Amino acid sequence: MSLSLQKKDPMDTWPPLSVVQQWFQAVVTHPDGIDSGIESDAACTLMPMTRDELARMVTRSKNLSAEERLSIYANAYYARLLECLGDSFPILKRTVGEEVFNGFAFGYLQRYPSHSYTLVRLGDHFARYLDETRPDREETMAISEKPPVGWPDFLIDVATLEWTIDQVFDGPGIEGKPTLSADDLHGIGTEDWPRVKLQTAPCLRLLKFRFPVNGYYTAVRRLTDASERIPAPAPAESFLAVSRREFIVRRHELSQPQFELLAALQDGETVGESVARAATLCDLDDEPLSRELQLWFRDWTQQQFFEAIRSE
Amino acid sequence: MTPKNVTRRDFSKLAAAALCGTLVGATALAQEKKLDTSKIQVEPSLLLEDPNVCRGINTCQGKGKGDHACAGQSACATAKDHSCSGHNDCKGQGGCGGYPGQNTCKEKGHCAVPLSKDTWPIARKQFEHLMKDMGQKFGSAPKG
C-alpha cells in the first residue's frame, strides 16, 4: 500500500517517516476500527485529519477506497493476534469455545496491547486479565473470608498452566549444558549437605493451582474429536513442576511438601532449611519421610531440576 | 507423627537421605546420558537433510511437498511415512524423542513420520536455530 501527500495539501510537507509509522499504528490498532482510529487522540496528535481527508494520505486503488485498503491492515492486525493467543491457549479456547475465547482475547488486547517486538510475550498478562475481569471480582473482593473457588478460577488456572508451558518451551533451558552431577557432590559430607544451596534449572517452574488442571490438560489434549468436551474437574488444590529436557516440556505433579521443598530451594534456601519446611507439612515419621526424601531428590536430580551447587 | 511434632525430628537424618537420593539420581542421570548417546545417536545437521520429516522444515524451495515459496514452508514430509519407533528407513528420518529427524542410523529414530503435533514444534524450533546459525533465510511456518 502506498502513502502519499498531494501537492497543495494542507499537509504538503512530508511528516517524518517515524510519525507516519506511529500514525499508521494508531489507526490500524484502534479497537473500534479505522474510522475511530483516524479520529482518535493518538492519531490526531500525530497527524490531524478527518476521515474525508484520508485519501490525501493513503492512495486508493482501482477497486478499493483508501479506507477499505487501510481496513485490511486493521482487520489483519487483530486477526493475527487473536490467532496467536488461540495458539498459546488451545485448551482454554476449547474449554470456553472460540467465540467466548475471542471475546476474552480482544478485551485483553485492549487492556494489555502488544508492546514487545516478539509475539512470544503476547500472552504475558492473560491470566491476570482473566482475574481482573472475572464477573464475580467485586463480590469476591468485598468479603473478608476466602471466597469460594469457582469457574473463573478454573479458567485462570488453565490459562496459567498453558502460558507456563509456552514460556518453558521458548525460554532458556539446560540442553547441552551440564547439570548437577556426582562430581559436583564429591567431597560434600552429610554434615555439610544441610548448608548447601542448589541452583535450580532456568526452565523449572513451580505452580500451585486451585483445580487439578494438569490432569484436565492432558485429558483434553488426548481428545481426537474437536467437538468433544470434558467437564471441568471439582476444585482441589494441586501442585506442579514444569520443566524441559531435550527440548520437550515435561510436567511433574507434586505433593504440597514436595512443592514447598522445591520452592524453598528455588528461593535460595539451604537444603536443610528446605527439608525442614517440607517436614512441617508431613505427617510421616522420620523413617518413612527419609525414604520419601531419598526418592524425591533422586527423581529431581535425574530429571535435571538442579543445575549446580550454588557458590556463595 | 503430626506436623506439630517437627521439633522432635532428626533433621540430620532427613538431610542425609536427601543427599543419598541426589547421589543416586546423579549417577542414574549419567548412565541415562551414556545409554542415550549410544542408543539414539543423533546429529542435528541431519534435520536439514533430505528427505525431511515434516512440514515447514525444507531447506530450499522445491525440497518439500506441496506449494511453497521458500525454505521452511513445505506442506508435508518427503521422508517415507511410518507410524512408530524404529520403523524409519534411513538416518535422519525418525520421529520424536527430543531430536526428531536427527537419528544417525536406520531404525534408530523414535516415533512416527510425519511428526506428531507434539513433536513438530520441537523440530521446527531446532530447524530455525540451525538455519539462523547458518545465516539462511526461511519462511514462516505453514499451518498444521
pLDDT digits (tens, 9 = 90+) for B75-92: 776 666 665 555 555 555
Local confidence band at B93 (pLDDT 50, 70, 90 cut-offs):
low
Name the residue among B126, B142, B129, B29 with its Cα closest to residue A247: B126
Q: Which residue of A has its CA nearest to B29?
A: A302
Nearest-Cα distance to chain A for B45, in Å, is 15
Cβ pair A301:B17 closer than 8 A: no
Are residues B31 and B49 located together in one domain of the fold? no
C-beta separation of A271 from A290 below 8 A: no
Confidence at residue B51, expressed as pLDDT on a 0 to 100 scale: 72
Local confidence band at B109 (pLDDT 50, 70, 90 cut-offs):
low
Mutate: best of B19, B42, B125, partner A, most A CBs <10 A: B19
C-beta separation of A5 from A15 below 8 A: no
The chain-wide mean pLDDT, for chain B, equals 70
The chain-wide mean pLDDT, for chain A, equals 90
Grid look-up 528427505 returns: B51
- Residue partners of B57: CB distance under 8 A and separation at least 6: B47, B48, B64, B72, B74, B101, B123, B124, B127
Confidence at residue B85, expressed as pLDDT on a 0 to 100 scale: 54
Q: How far apart are CA B123 and CA B54, in angstroms?
A: 8
**Among candidates A246, A271, A284 on the partner chain, residue whose Cβ is nearest the Cβ of B18:** A271
State what percent of residues in chain B have pLDDT above 90: 8
| Number of domains, chain B | 2
Cβ pair B17:A294 closer than 8 A: yes
Greatest mean pLDDT among A143-147, A282-286, B83-87: A282-286
Which residues in chain A have their CB less than 8 angstroms from residue B126's CB? 247
Are residues B29 and B73 located together in one domain of the fold? no
pTM of the predicted protein model: 0.72
Q: Cβ of B27 under 8 Å from any chain A Cβ?
A: yes
Name the residue range of residue B26's domain: 1-39
pLDDT, mean of residues B30-50:
69
Local confidence band at B6 (pLDDT 50, 70, 90 cut-offs):
low
Which residues in chain A have their CB less than 8 angstroms from residue B141's CB? none
Are residues B104 and B49 located together in one domain of the fold? yes
Are residues B81 and B143 located together in one domain of the fold? yes
Confidence at residue A103, expressed as pLDDT on a 0 to 100 scale: 95
Nearest-Cα distance to chain A for B25, in Å, is 4
Are residues B1 and B65 located together in one domain of the fold? no
Q: How far apart are CA A166 and CA A123, in angstroms?
A: 10
pLDDT, mean of residues A298-312:
91
Name the residue among B35, B44, B11 with its Cα closest to residue A194: B11
Is the model's pLDDT at B4 over the cut of 50? Answer: no
Q: Between these two residues, B36 and B107, which has the higher pLDDT value?
A: B36
> Could you tell me the three cell numbers for B84?
512408530
Q: Where are the domains of chain A?
A: 1-84, 172-309
Cβ pair B24:A294 closer than 8 A: yes
Nearest-Cα distance to chain B for A83, in Å, is 11
Are residues B66 and B119 located together in one domain of the fold? yes
Are residues B34 and B51 located together in one domain of the fold? no
DSSP-based helix, strand, coil % in chain B, nearest 5:
40, 5, 60
Instruction: Assign domain A172-309 one CATH number from 3.60.70, 3.90.930, 1.20.120, 2.60.40.
Output: 3.90.930
Is the model's pLDDT at A266 over the cut of 70? Answer: yes
Nearest-Cα distance to chain A for B139, in Å, is 16
Cβ pair B6:A190 closer than 8 A: no
Q: Which residue of B has its CA nearest to A194?
A: B15
Q: Which residue of B has its CA nearest to A175?
A: B98
Q: How far apart are CA A293 and CA A278, in angstroms?
A: 10
pLDDT, mean of residues A279-289:
91
Are residues B10 and B46 located together in one domain of the fold? no
User: Alpha-carbon dihedral of residues A270, A273, A274, A277, nearest 10 degrees?
Assistant: -170
Q: What are phi and psi of A269, to 5 degrees?
A: -80, 160
What interface predicted TM-score (ipTM) does this complex get? 0.79
Peptide bond just before B51 cis, omega within 30 deg: yes
Chain A positions touching chain B (beta carbons under 8 Å): 169, 175, 179-182, 184-185, 188, 190-191, 193-194, 245-248, 271-272, 275-276, 279-286, 289-291, 293-302, 304, 306
Q: How far apart are CA A17 and CA A260, in angstroms?
A: 54
Q: In what order do the strands lie in the sheet with A248-254?
A: A205-209, A238-245, A248-254
Q: Cβ of B14 under 8 Å from any chain A Cβ?
A: yes
Cβ pair A304:B29 closer than 8 A: yes
Is the model's pLDDT at A154 over the cut of 90? Answer: yes
Mutate: best of B11, B13, B14, partner A, most A CBs <10 A: B14
Is the model's pLDDT at B1 over the cut of 50? Answer: no
Cβ pair B26:A185 closer than 8 A: yes
Q: Between these two residues, B117 and A257, which has the higher pLDDT value?
A: A257
pLDDT, mean of residues A274-282:
93
Local confidence band at A99 (pLDDT 50, 70, 90 cut-offs):
very high
Is the model's pLDDT at A9 over the cut of 70? Answer: no
State what percent of residues in chain A have pLDDT above 70: 92
Is the model's pLDDT at A19 over the cut of 60? Answer: yes
Nearest-Cα distance to chain B for A5, in Å, is 34
Are residues B9 and B53 located together in one domain of the fold? no
Is the model's pLDDT at A120 over the cut of 80? Answer: yes
Name the residue among A114, A134, A133, A135 with its Cα closest to residue A124: A114
Least confident of A77-91, B32-46, B111-125: B32-46
Cβ pair A280:B1 closer than 8 A: no
Local confidence band at A189 (pLDDT 50, 70, 90 cut-offs):
confident
Are residues B114 and B48 located together in one domain of the fold? yes
Confidence at residue A12, expressed as pLDDT on a 0 to 100 scale: 59
Least confident of A257-271, A281-295, B92-106: B92-106
Q: How far apart are CA A220 and CA A95, in angstroms?
A: 9
Q: Cβ of B122 under 8 Å from any chain A Cβ?
A: yes
Q: How far apart are CA A100 and CA A212, in angstroms?
A: 23
State what percent of residues in chain B have pLDDT above 70: 46
Confidence at residue B128, expressed as pLDDT on a 0 to 100 scale: 80
State what percent of residues in chain A have pLDDT above 90: 71
Are residues B139 and B112 located together in one domain of the fold? yes
